Structure 1
């Protein structure tokens, strides 16, 4: 377990401050590609909640969940770069969602937690062992409260793993399901680290290398996997 100390920490028991709307290094909400994609995604929506729902689905399925896509140089963690790549694991996908929300005027932040994924592939399990995953999700300020949403698993990934796709209605938290369709344990939330106005990149890199040295060294050597087409553990 880790304790995150970062100057971009946001207290979710309070209303959002100006940081929750401002673009920054990784949440580059002012990037033309982010603004254009967000503008198209929210067409037909009138309320912030309706816009957040449309943004969620514009990230969940078009951007492929790619857990092996975590050995990235600093500039590749920018939301605009992730959008261009059209793939990412939970943290990068959430960064895109947060950036898009800010681009349309919805205060939003990045949430971080330790989770245990019980439904991993054989290859992924060999490289990650039992260490908890550093999970990211988006948090929106909607109708006077903070609402959490995890856009990690795209629909085809859910179908491959027989996991119920995670739906978001703009009112209730949408965090990853505890069980799959076969009632097998899926995602277990171990510890929530809170929310951040900026992505703590240096801390994330430290955590990834400490917890998954074999995975990171493998990816460093350009030996990339494709989880969606691998065998179950």
Structure 2
């Protein structure tokens, strides 16, 4: 499998993505430092928003996400993967199911559960190993919920904020769906409909849901 290729979703030849990565095209930087810088940029420049769910192919294109100011975990992962591939760093999408334990009232109200699925993160290939990183939670959001933001050192996994700063459980992974070379939209649609059927109890078919 080639984790450097562009695709319909990882469309790094597009103008929005090229504009985004332009400041990071520094050939003198070590690969790990470049990946760290790109990770931090995506983590903090798109506010995390789990309450907009899309079934539209267009909305999962990196070029579309790059022009937004908010994004959910899958969208932010797609954007980071696309930027990394554009910079010559292999990356792929990893999906799973997580359970949140803090500030869950709105989640339960909207989703009927404190479980979020599919939850997206990134696998990035550095120094002959695949590392797991999650750019989902921006720094300002972490501050709001008293959770340390996930830092990435280019050597170790950085994908789970298990506890907040007071030692209370924040989130946990409860199911792993594995990694994907491209965005598995059909799988994602089935997964969303299976876990949140009430969202789709509407007379008119929709491709985007704002909860």
TM norm. shorter chain > 0.5: yes
In the alignment, structure 1 residue 55 sits paired with structure 2 residue 22? no
Unmatched tracts of structure 2, length 5 or more: none
Shift of 1:217: 5.5
CA contact (8 A) 1:109 1:198 kept: yes
What's 2:196 paired with? 212
In the alignment, structure 1 residue 122 sits paired with structure 2 residue 111? no
What RMSD in Å do the two structures reach over aligned CA positions? 2.1
Which whole-Å CA distance do the structure 2 matches of 1:107 and 1:153 have between them? 22
What's 2:132 paired with? 148
Farther-moved stretch of structure 1 (35-44 vs 100-109): 35-44
CA contact (8 A) 2:81 2:93 kept: yes
Distance 1:188 1:102, change over 3 A: same
Matched position secondary structure for 2:183: coil
Which whole-Å CA distance do the structure 1 matches of 2:25 and 2:170 have between them? 31
**Could you list the per-position Cα deviations for residues 1-59 of structure 1 after superposition, in whole angstroms to 9, with x for gaps in the alignment?**
xxxxxxxxxxxxxxxx32x0111111112222212212313548611111100110110
Which whole-Å CA distance do the structure 1 matches of 2:170 and 2:162 have between them? 5
Shift of 1:209: 1.8
Q: Which one has a larger percent strand, Structure 1 or Structure 2?
A: 2
Distance 1:188 1:36, change over 3 A: same
Q: What's the TM-score once normalised by structure 1's chain length?
A: 0.81
Matched position secondary structure for 1:182: coil
In the alignment, structure 1 residue 169 sits paired with structure 2 residue 153? yes
Q: What is the aligned residue count? A: 207
Structure 1 runs of 4+ off > 3 angstroms? 41-45, 214-218, 220-225
Q: What's the TM-score once normalised by structure 2's chain length?
A: 0.89
